C-alpha cells in the first residue's frame, strides 16, 4: 500500500471538512480566473474593434455612446449628421480616410450598416464567397450573421426598423439581396450586415412621412435633396498625429457635430471595468486566504484526532518525515482538486456569460487554455497549502508515541 492511498482515504473520511475546504478554494479560484478572463477578453475585443479608427464624428451627445454605437455597434446612435458637414472633413489635409456609416435597420436583430467598401479593408475583412456589393440593396453578411441566420449568397430578406427584432416594423418594398459572405475576422464586422449608404437612404425615403412614432434608436436618415442627406457617423483615420490634437477640438467647438476618440473612450470604459475587476479580485484573494485558513484548521483538527493513528504508524516503522509527507499529500490533494474544480467553474462561467453576451450584444468569449497567470495562481495555492499544512503538522514532530498509545 502506498502512503498516497492512505492520504486519499484519510481525506475522504471527513466529507464535510473536505467539501467546505474544497468549496472555499474553488470559489476563490473560479472568481479570480473568471474575472481575469472576462476583463482580458473584453478589453482585447474592444481594442481590436476600435483599432482601425482614430476618431469618430457624429451627432452631439455622449462621446462614449457615439463610440459604442458607431464603432462597437452596441448602443443606440446619438443622432445623425448632415452629409455636407461630414464631406468638409473628408477633404481636410490631416485626414487619411473618412468612412461614412449609416444605420437604421436590422434583420432578425443583426444591424444593417450602410458604408463604403473601404470599411471592410480597415478591418482586413475578406470575402469567403460571393462578390462585394455594387448597387443599393445588395448586402454582404458577416460570418456570424451568415452562420446564425443560415444566409446564402442570393438569399433575399426584408429589413426592419430599429436595432432589435421586437420593436420593429418591416419595410415592405425593398428586399435586400445577399451578394457575398465575409470570412471571420474576430471583430464586430462578423456580426454586421453591410450594404451601401444609399440603401439606407432609399429604404427610408418612402416610409419617412407615415412613420411618426419611430422607435428609440431609429433616426430618419432619408432626404429628398442631396443637401439634406444625413449619415450616422464618420469614421476617421489621420495622416498625422497633429490631427488627433487639433481636429476633435475644432469639430466640437465649431460645428454642430461631435468628435470622439475611440481609444480614449474605451480606455475610460476599461478603467471602469478594471476597478470592478480589482474589487472582485480583492474579494477572491480574501476568500483564498480564508480557504487556506480552513485547510489549516481542518488539517489541525484531523491531525489532533488522528494522533493515535499517527503514533501507531510510528510503531509500524514510519519515520516522522513520512508522517509529515502523509499530511502534505492530504493537503495537496485538496489543493489540486480545489484548484482544478475552481478553474473549470471559472471557465464554465465564461461559457455561460458568453452565451448571454452572444444573444444580447453579439459578442462572444472564448474558452482559453490555462494562462500564465493561472499557473502562477496554482503555484500560490500550492505554496499556501504547504505553509498551512506545515503549520498544522508541528505536533507531528513532538509526537510522543508511548504516551499517545498507552498511559506511561
Partner 1 sequence: MVETSNLSYAYKNGTVMAFPNIGLSPGEHLLVIGPSGVGKTTLLYLMAGLLPPLKGTVAIDGTKLNALSRKALDRFRGEQIGLIFQQYHFIKSLNVSENLLLRQSFPLKGHDKKRGYELTERLGLAEHLDKKVTALSQGQQQRLGIALGLIHRPKIIFADEPTSNLDDENCAKVIDLLKEEAKICQSSLLIITHDQRVKSHFQNHILL
Select 138 or 330, whichever has its Cβ closest to partner 1: 330
3-state secondary structure of 342: helix
Contact segment (CB under 8 A) with partner 1 among 88-96, 266-274, 315-323, 366-374 equals 315-323
Does 399 contact partner 1 by CB under 8 A?
no
Does 341 contact partner 1 by CB under 8 A?
no
Identify each DSSP E strand in 31-82 by its residue range: 55-59, 81-82
Interface with partner 1 (CB under 8 A), residue from 13, 275, 279, 366: 13
**How far apart (Å, rounded) are the C-alpha atoms in residues 197 and 194?**
9
Does 62 contact partner 1 by CB under 8 A?
no
Does 16 contact partner 1 by CB under 8 A?
no
Q: Let me know if 259 is exposed, middle or buried by CB neighbors in 10 A (0-12, 13-18, 19+).
A: buried
Angle made by CA atoms 192, 195, 201, in degrees to the nearest 5? 120
Interface with partner 1 (CB under 8 A), residue from 15, 134, 316, 369: 316
Does 401 contact partner 1 by CB under 8 A?
yes
Does 408 contact partner 1 by CB under 8 A?
yes
Helices and strands counted in the chain (H then E): 14, 12
Does 313 contact partner 1 by CB under 8 A?
yes
Interface with partner 1 (CB under 8 A), residue from 121, 165, 240, 308: 308
The C-alpha cell at 177 is: 439581396
Interface with partner 1 (CB under 8 A), residue from 318, 345, 386, 387: 318
Q: Is the CA virtual torsion 311, 315, 320, 323 positive or negative? A: negative
Does 164 contact partner 1 by CB under 8 A?
no
Contact segment (CB under 8 A) with partner 1 among 80-88, 204-212, 316-324, 373-381 equals 316-324
Q: Kindly provide the b/e burial profile for residues 140-176, where b requires at least 16 CB atoms within 10 angstroms of the residue's own CB.
A: bbbbbbbebbebebebebebbbbbeeeebeebeebeb
Q: Beta partners for 139?
A: 178, 195
Total of residues contacting partner 1 (CB under 8 A)? 25
Contact residues: partner 1, CB under 8 A: 1-2, 6, 9-10, 12-13, 308-309, 311-319, 322, 401-402, 405-408
Amino acid at each position: 500500500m502506498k502512503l498516497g492511498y492512505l492520504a486519499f482515504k484519510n481525506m475522504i473520511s471527513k466529507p464535510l471538512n473536505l467539501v467546505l475546504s474544497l468549496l472555499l478554494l474553488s470559489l476563490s479560484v473560479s472568481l479570480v480566473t473568471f474575472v481575469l478572463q472576462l476583463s482580458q477578453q473584453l478589453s482585447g475585443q474592444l481594442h481590436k474593434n476600435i483599432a482601425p479608427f482614430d476618431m469618430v464624428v457624429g451627432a452631439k451627445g455622449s462621446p462614449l455612446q457615439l463610440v459604442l454605437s458607431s464603432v462597437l455597434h452596441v448602443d443606440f446612435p446619438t443622432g445623425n449628421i448632415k452629409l455636407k458637414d461630414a464631406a468638409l472633413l473628408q477633404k481636410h489635409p490631416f485626414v487619411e480616410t473618412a468612412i461614412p456609416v449609416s444605420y437604421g435597420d436590422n434583420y432578425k436583430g443583426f444591424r444593417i450598416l450602410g458604408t463604403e467598401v473601404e470599411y471592410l479593408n480597415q478591418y482586413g475583412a475578406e470575402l469567403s464567397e460571393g462578390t462585394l456589393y455594387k448597387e443599393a440593396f445588395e448586402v454582404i453578411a458577416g460570418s456570424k450573421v451568415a452562420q446564425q441566420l443560415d444566409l446564402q449568397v442570393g438569399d433575399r430578406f426584408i429589413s426592419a426598423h430599429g436595432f432589435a427584432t421586437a420593436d420593429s416594423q418591416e419595410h415592405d418594398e425593398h428586399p435586400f439581396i445577399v451578394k457575398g459572405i465575409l470570412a471571420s475576422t474576430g471583430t464586430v464586422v462578423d456580426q454586421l450586415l453591410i450594404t451601401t449608404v444609399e440603401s439606407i437612404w432609399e429604404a427610408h425615403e418612402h416610409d419617412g412621412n407615415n412613420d411618426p412614432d419611430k422607435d428609440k434608436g431609429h433616426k430618419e436618415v432619408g432626404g429628398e435633396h442631396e443637401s439634406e442627406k444625413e449619415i450616422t457617423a464618420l469614421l476617421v483615420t489621420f495622416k498625422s498625429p497633429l490631427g488627433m490634437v487639433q481636429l476633435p477640438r475644432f469639430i466640437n467647438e465649431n460645428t454642430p457635430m461631435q468628435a470622439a476618440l475611440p481609444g480614449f473612450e474605451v480606455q475610460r470604459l476599461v478603467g471602469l471595468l478594471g476597478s470592478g475587476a480589482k474589487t472582485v479580485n480583492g474579494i477572491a484573494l480574501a476568500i483564498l486566504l480564508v480557504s487556506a485558513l480552513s485547510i489549516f484548521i481542518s488539517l489541525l483538527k484531523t491531525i489532533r484526532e488522528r494522533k493515535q493513528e499517527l503514533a501507531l504508524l510510528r510503531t509500524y516503522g514510519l519515520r516522522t518525515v513520512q508522517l509529515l509527507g502523509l499530511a502534505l499529500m492530504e493537503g495537496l490533494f485538496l489543493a489540486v482538486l480545489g484548484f482544478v474544480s475552481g478553474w473549470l467553474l471559472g471557465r464554465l462561467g465564461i461559457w455561460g456569460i458568453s452565451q448571454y453576451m452572444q444573444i444580447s450584444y453579439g459578442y462572444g468569449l472564448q474558452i482559453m487554455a490555462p494562462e500564465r497567470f493561472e499557473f502562477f495562481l496554482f503555484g500560490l495555492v500550492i505554496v499556501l497549502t504547504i505553509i498551512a499544512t506545515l503549520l498544522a503538522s508541528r505536533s507531528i514532530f513532538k509526537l510522543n508515541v508511548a504516551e499517545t498509545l498507552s498511559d506511561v
